[in-house]
Amino acid sequence: MKTFWRLMSYVWPYKGQYLVILLLGITASILQPGAALAVKPLLDGILLGKNPELLKVMPMVIIIFTLVCGLSRYVYSVWAGYLSEVIIRHLRLQLYQKYLDLSFDYYSKASTGRLFTALSSDVVLLLEGISRVTSLFRDPFTIVGLLAVSFYRDWKLTLLALLITPPLIYMVVAIGKKLKKMTHTRQDQWANLNSTVYETLSGIRIIKAFNLEKKLKQRFQQDNDRLLNVQYRWMLIENISSPVLYMIGGFGVAFLTIYGGGKILSQGATGGDILSVGLALGLLIDPIKKIEALNLGFQKALGGAERIFKVFDLEPSIKNSPDAVVLKPFQKNITFQNVSFQYDDQKDWVLKNVSVNVQKGEALALVGSSGAGKTTFVNLIPRFYDVVEGSISIDGMDLRDVTMHSLRDQISIVSQDVFLFNDTVLENIAYGKQDRTREEVIQAAKAANAHEFILNLPEGYDSTVGERGVKLSGGQRQRISIARALLKNAPILILDEATSALDTESEILVQQAIEKLMQGRTSFVIAHRLSTVQNASRILVLEQGQIQEEGTHDILIAKKGLYYKLYQLQFSKKLGAVQQGESQIWQ
């Protein structure tokens, strides 16, 4: 019931409109029993009373009855359906906002397919349930009205008919509980299927390169077959009530024929009496089925709601403190003070007791083998994660004491994995600065060596780049990313230098753009190239999460320590390439 009332809290703000819908539903509900009530005087008046006036009046009454009832139902259905869509729109937006608010650690563990399923099919289940809420406003009144007519015409027959009510209610409740439980199973299987599709589309290049089509098809087929089995069990349960109701209706007609015929022959009852009761009881089938459908729909909706509300109840692990202040423009230094960090699901420390002070305008290169902690180091600066021990401060302000928006507003990131939105070139660059002009975007593109290739695109700056920038080459995507960072013009730069997969010409253009980007900024560079390492103000050599060495390239080479060994390991077989400036050294 907790989930039900929580779901109803989204309906409550529209209570005024639902009240009008209730009145329309009551109107339609009253008219339907009225039709059953009118059968006796109409039938008996014509057949027994031989009243020709009824033939003139009743057709007009029926037409008016039908028009009012039909119009009420139409307005009722459209209005109720629209309100349901409005409520679902709000829920969908709230869920999307929650996805934006959740921290990085959530996405490192969450299934992409599950996230998609919650935003799509779980929300659809909610729509199905909420859209049927209005049945509560109409069908109970219809049932009460029809029962009143039946009792008025023949209370004994009505009581006999109601004997089937307890087992019918038990069946509806049992089916509803089972469907609610199966909703979780079905939605989980949908999530698995969505994950497989997402991974296939995202990794299609690797799939084709490694001839994985057959393996992925088998995996998809297994997920698809499991979903079919779940859907089949779902349909067996969901549809079992329909034949039961029809059987009850059939037995009812047979019983009414025997009982009514006997009363007409032995007790002098009229055909109008029996037909009036029969029509009223027959008309009960439709609202009962709708209430049963309401129950089934609501049980499915509650299953979807439970999954969505679990996401709503999640709290970001990284959020502003209650007394967070706006970070002032960066002036002096960034300090790591005895910083240690480990991920929640791991026992080992990724960073351990790291201390470093970076002055404004410095370029700090991070060097080390894979898994040394370089990426984690830079991810702590924009507070993608919080330190476990120690502190990071900018101009003496602990990052946890400033608002995340003001902190990230002063940081630009150029990642090795460039992400571009399925939008125009102009808009992809403009994401770096919201209040930009077209001329500012063009100037940033020129500084990033991107202007020339952009002009050669079919629609220039208004050309769409495709999902993740698939219409552009690797070098072009990199330069768009650099232009975005240049446009933002933040004083702090995090750079995962990535030129290894580029051809020589693109590599030179990207490297030139990177050098322009680093000018006048405090840069943290996960270094891959010798030139970047040599030009850095300082180099941090990380190993197993700790700083093993620190200094300039020449100093560290002279020390002949870990940096020297990494240098020898990476360059001894590539000396010729190094001399030509084409090497990729740090992984």
Mean pLDDT of 400-429: 90
Residue 306 forms part of a structural domain: yes
Which residues form the domain of 30? 2-312
Does residue 288 contact residue 115 with C-beta atoms inside 8 Å?
Answer: no
Q: Pick 207 or 86 by higher pLDDT.
A: 86
Give the residue, 473 or 391, on which the prediction is more confident. Answer: 391
Of 291 and 84, the structure prediction assigns the larger pLDDT to: 84
> Can you name the residues that pair with 103 across neighbouring β-strands?
none
> Is there a domain that residue 251 lies in?
yes
Residue carrying structure tokens 């089916």? 175
- In whole angstroms, give the CA distance from residue 210 to residue 212: 5
Instruction: Determine, yes or no, domain membership for 233.
Output: yes
Q: How many Cα neighbours within 13 Å face the side chain of 38? A: 13
Nearest-CA neighbor of 125 among 257, 296, 356, 317?
A: 296
**Cβ atoms 465, 428 nearer than 8 A:** yes
Give every CB contact of residue 380 below 8 A, 6+ residues apart in sequence: 339, 341, 351, 386, 387, 392
Number of domains in the chain: 1
Q: Could you tell me whether strands 363-367 and 492-496 are parallel, antiparallel, or unpaired per DSSP bridges?
A: unpaired
Residue 491 lies in a domain: no
| H or E element that contains 397 | strand 397-398
Contacts of 111 (CB under 8 A, 6+ apart): 191, 192, 195
Please tell me the distance from the alpha carbon of residue 165 to that of residue 143, in angstroms, as a whole number.
12
Residue 20 maps to a domain: yes
pLDDT (mean) for 134-139: 65
Does any domain span residue 188?
yes
Q: What is the CATH number of the domain that holds 84?
A: 1.20.1560.10
In a domain, 245, yes or no: yes
Tokens standing for residue 341 = 């960090």
| 532 occurs within a structural domain | no
The end-to-end CA distance of the chain, in Å, is 54
Sequence-distant (6+) residues with CB within 8 A of 63 are none
Quickly list H helices, 204-240. Answer: 204-209, 213-238
Q: How far apart are CA 394 and CA 402, in angstroms?
A: 10
Distance CA 484, CA 413 (A): 9
pLDDT-derived band of residue 583, with 50, 70 and 90 as boundaries?
very low
Q: What percent of the chain has pLDDT over 90?
A: 23
Residue 494: band (very low, low, confident or very high) from pLDDT cuts 50, 70, 90:
very high
The pTM assigned to this predicted structure is 0.73
pLDDT given for residue 582 in this prediction: 43
* Mean pLDDT on 356-362: 94
Asked if the model's pLDDT at residue 584 lies above 50, the reply is no
Task: Among 185-189, 242-246, 445-449, name the one with the lowest average pLDDT.
Answer: 242-246
Q: pLDDT digits over 44-81, tens only?
A: 655 555 566 666 676 677 677 777 777 877 887 788 88
Q: What is the pLDDT of residues 398-409, one digit of tens each?
A: 999 999 999 999
Amino acid at 94: Q
Q: Which of 3-7, 164-168, 328-332, 388-392 has the lowest mean pLDDT?
A: 164-168
Is residue 375 predicted with pLDDT exceeding 50?
yes
Please report where in the chains the tokens 């753009």 appear, as a residue. Answer: 513
What pLDDT does residue 206 have?
66
Q: What is the pLDDT of residues 310-320, one digit of tens each?
A: 888 988 888 99
